[in-house]
Amino acid sequence: MSNVVMDPRPVARKLLARPQQEGVGAVVRRSIGRFELKHFDPFLLLDEFSVSSPAGFPDHPHRGFETVTYMLQGAVTHEDFEGHKGTIEAGDLQWMTAGRGIVHSEMPASQGTQKGLQLWINLSSGYKMIEPRYQEMNSEDIQEAKKDGVKVRVIAGEAMGVKSPIYTRTPTMYLDFTLKPGARILQHIPMSWNAFVYVLEGEGIFGNSRSLPVSAHHLLLLGSGDGLDAYNKSSKSLRFILVGGEPLGEPVVQYGPFVMNTQEQIDQTIEDYENYINGFEKARYWNSESTVGFGH
């Protein structure tokens, strides 16, 4: 993949992700998946979450898409009805394909505030009912590259000559960039893909050099072009994620944690979940250990 950027993408839209309550006592800054921006094909949701014990995300189902959890601070314990469990710590990644059905919990694993990002990526109609699976990477196993004041962690896709081993059913790139003061990055993005930037720390110039600086908690939807031009003109570090994906171009019908193509499929999913069938069989007798005491 060439990293030559001939036609940098402009910022087409800017949104500030404001805090809102989610789960049980958790706070999220939601950018994609809220009233003003229901989805951005193939992306369904982006949350920057902040959670302190005893708050969290007790047992809840998913069907029809993938959840990508990337921890920024602290740790969360994850548990599902297949018996899969583990702790995702700062810098770690969990790429979960919910497929036909998963019921799981995500709860704080340590004291203090746990922070991270959760991205929901839609699956095409042919993949919505596949068996669930996980791809997990510890922080030290995530590929990194550094050059000219730029550091990138390659969560999915390719950047600065390094490539992630993560398999993306919906073709996706997910890059975590840190730019020192004065640093600039040109990153290739396939022309046909949708892409966005989410600023985590500091402030940066995106799109072209005449743009105004954009600060933390802002989502930038990028227009057409073959890449991103990002520049840190400030005196502090700039950290942001760049995410891109191939649009599916399919109808999206969403009912909370279920995302299908038609209302009939959503009705069927609700019926499956309520009757513990078609992928939800194990939900009948399962409660996660970490959410005992929350009540169900």
CA 138 to chain centre: 16
Q: What are 43-76's pLDDT values in tens digits?
A: 999 999 999 888 888 889 999 999 999 999 999 9
Pairwise CA distance, residues 139 & 254, whole Å:
32
Distances (CA, A) of 114 to 37, 117, 203: 26, 10, 23
Mean pLDDT of 259-274: 97
- How much is the pLDDT for 292? 60
Task: Please give the CATH number for the structural domain made up of 18-245.
Answer: 2.60.120.10
DSSP conformation class of 284: T
Question: What is d(CA 212, CA 220) in angstroms, rounded to the nearest whole number?
Answer: 12
Q: How confident is the model at residue 1 (pLDDT cuts 50, 70, 90)?
A: very low
The reported pLDDT for the residue numbered 3 is: 62
Question: Is the per-residue pLDDT at 291 higher than 80?
Answer: no
- C-beta of residue 282 within 8 angstroms of C-beta of residue 81: yes
Token pair belonging to 235: 């005196």
Domain positions in the chain are 18-245
For the chain, state the CA radius of gyration. Answer: 19
pLDDT at 202: 98
Confidence band for 9, pLDDT divided at 50, 70 and 90: very high
Q: Give the Cα separation of 103 and 296 in Å (integer).
A: 13
pTM given for the model: 0.94
| Per-residue model confidence (pLDDT) at position 256 | 93
pLDDT of residue 293: 52
Say whether pLDDT at 224 is over 60: yes
Nearest to 96 by CA among 75, 114, 111, 118: 118
CA distance to 56, 172, 190, 195, 243, per residue, from 158 (Å):
33, 10, 11, 14, 11
The rounded distance, in Å, linking the Cα atoms of 12 and 14 is: 7
Q: Model confidence over 103-160: pLDDT tens digits?
A: 999 999 988 999 999 999 999 999 999 999 999 999 999 999 999 999 999 999 999 9
pLDDT computed for residue 4 by the predictor: 77
